[in-house]
Amino acid sequence: MLPIFAEAQLSNTGKKTMIYPETKKENVKDTYFGTNVDDPYRWLEDDRSADTKQWVTAQNVVTQKYMSQIPYRNDIKERLKHLMNYEKYSQPFKEGGYTYYYKNTGLQNQSVLYRQKEGGEPEVFLDPNTFSKDATTSLAGISFSKDGSLLAYQLSEGGSDWTKVIVMKSSDKTVVGETITDVKFSGISWQGNDGFYYSSYDKPAEGSQLSGLTQYHKLFYHKLGTAQKEDQLIFGGDKTPRRYISAGLTEDERYLIISAANSTSGNELYIKDLKAKDAEIIPIVSNFDKNHNIIDNDGSKLFIYTNLNAANGRVVTVDAGSPGVENWKDLIKETENVLSPSTGGGKLFANYIKDAVSMVLQYDRNGKLEHEIKLPGIGSASGFGSKQSEKELYYTFTSYVYPATIFRYAIETGKSEVYKKSGVDFDPANYESKQVFYASKDGTKVPMIITYKKGIVLNGKNPTVLYGYGGFDVSLTPSFSTANIILMDQGGIYAVANLRGGGEYGEKWHLAGTKLQKQNVFDDFIAAGEYLIDNKYTSKDYLASMGGSNGGLLVGATLAQRPDLFKVAFPAVGVMDMLRYHKFTAGAGWSYDYGTSEDSKEMFDYLYKYSPVHALKAGTKYPATLVTTADHDDRVVPAHSFKFAANLQKDQAGDAPVLISIQTNAGHGAGKPTDKAIEEIADRWAFLFYNMGITYKK
């Protein structure tokens, strides 16, 4: 049995000495290409065992006791409540004569879906706060039939990626048919009012339902009024095993579009003409080399986004009767900037990333440029989607100093007007955000945006958070965070580095941070920290690293490689065991970015060297570290964080605390209730200030 009691005690020297729960070791070894690797904490991978549950409880006791000793923890929490207590809205969308939108009155745990008719009063349509007593059941997705009369919505319980689908009539909210269960990584695509397509995996037959391997996706068609067990398998399964399968219909519901992939990058593309009798599913692209998706159609004319022969992306057209790559014709050609296209009102919108910020152009259906959307500043614009018949659409603009604001956009004139302004208590005029470019270890220029309150003195003593991700073609573009007001109002600095492995500069930038080049990502992050120190933004005593998921891996790896660089580290829901990540849930799909320990001796050696669980060294002084994860995280299973925290506690030679906070009834992050988010953020800032020796000023 593991002892529950543990605490921070004062040693004879007056320094705090952490006493952690005992983490038992077992004699577990694996052999990779002749190398024996110890895995003494393998038992923590079993999330169902009594020992693991007791370890979690014991660690949470230590963490909460430590946090409760920080005198200003509650002050930060109350300040956060004040800052977050304002009305928040989503972009509105129209379905079946109603305008729908999400609204949060301020501190509601889950945002509520409202609707209203033109000239009518808003009414609550779906309130996820009523789905469970503790508000941990969230709305994970909604989809209306084309006429708006039917709605399918997905529920996530405790933050899990596994969802349930409930169908109801939008007129009176009566439920139609049975609840569809065991759905994962899926949208809902209606075909008329008869039924819809969805994707899922077979649930693990043995072992944990949360951490068990989910190997092959299946696309089903569910006909309303029938039992789920009668659902028709459309694609996937034994004949076409694929790890990820998604489906959608063109707006006119003529074509079924299927995308299939085995990793997080590169996909096959298929199409089926639903109006042709006995039509087959035919391939458009039958390899996984590049990314493609159909974004619209005019009859048989298809509009396709692709990065084939265009690393930064382009839009092509082709006739559905002969859709092969050899027949593609450029409509919007590749540029030096990375393209993300969308459609609305019969137009095409080219949303470009230029040095990690947005630039949006409007084209007609023939590829003629009509407008450049005048954005209110340098930042991120998102949205630009609507039905073909609409005359207007909505988009959101934000930056690190510009709270998210919704704009109404007139498609014909290209004019924007504010629709909903943020109500947050924040004056952008008092803050500054600037972009710099710094040299990484190999000389590559990397962009970073640094944000702080005007008037601070750059004397190396400013508490600074360096945030990064660096993977999976994900672009970190500027966005406002209420949480960061706490940091900046204490004279702090928030810096975001656009590392290789991301998508800010297209496919080449992404590939430069994958597999045997993954070290570039860590080098970019370390160089960012050194730039901030060299330019007096901060110093080693006031620099913190922060990242989640793949960014948690980033924090863990750089902590191991450069423990001297950071005072504090915040690895959240991180991928920490690089030798075994592919053995849990859908982790095998990440191999395009990471490679696996079974690929080759070269790949094993490379992963083993930087894997956070394995790269730590006993007798090293590591930064104060607050690891965060959740018991229902079935994306990056919590065992990663468990094993990392256990190893770091064992190897820590310094006085800095190594804590792990494990949220219960929570997952990878989506759908997290507001109260849980406030607790997590308050603990983060309290931990940061306390370990930097900074007194929080109310």
Nearest Cα residue to 508 out of 392, 648, 372, 338: 338
Give the three-class secondary structure for 418. Answer: strand
Query: Which residues are within 8 A (CB) of 259 and not within 5 positions of it... i.e. 6 or more apart?
Result: 244, 245, 246, 247, 267, 268, 269, 270, 292, 293
Strand order in the sheet with 543-548: 431-439, 445-453, 493-497, 464-467, 543-548, 568-572, 624-630, 658-663
Rounded alpha-carbon distances, angstroms, from residue 210 to 46, 48, 239:
10, 9, 26
**Known catalytic membership, residue 11:** no
Quick one: tokens of 190?
């209606």
555 DSSP β-pair partners = none
Q: For residues 74 and 63, what is the distance between their CA atoms, to the nearest angstrom?
A: 15
Give dist(CA 253, CA 553) in Å, integer.
42
Three-state DSSP class for residue 664: coil
Q: How many residues does the chain have?
A: 698
| SS3 category, 675 | helix
Structure tokens at 507: 């496919």
Residues 6+ apart with CB under 8 A from 277: none
Angle CA(624)–CA(627)–CA(630) in degrees, nearest 5?
Answer: 160
- Find the catalytic residue in 138, 549, 591, 611: 549
Q: Which of 217, 614, 632, 668 is catalytic?
A: 668
Which 3 state secondary structure label does DSSP give 206?
Answer: coil
Active site residue 292: no
* Assigned token pair, 358: 């947005």
The rounded distance, in Å, linking the Cα atoms of 381 and 360 is 8
Q: Closest by alpha carbon to 452, among 524, 530, 532, 565? A: 532
Block residue for tokens 């109603």: 98
Sign, Cα dihedral of 70, 76, 81, 82: positive
CA–CA gap between residue 126 and residue 98 (Å, rounded): 14
DSSP helix/strand/coil, 39: coil
Q: How far apart are CA 383 and CA 561, in angstroms?
A: 39
Q: Which residue has the tokens 């006993």?
A: 618
> How many angstroms separate the CA atoms of 379 and 505, rounded?
16
Q: What is the DSSP string of 569-588?
A: EEEES----TTTGGGSTTGG
| Catalytically annotated residues | 549, 668
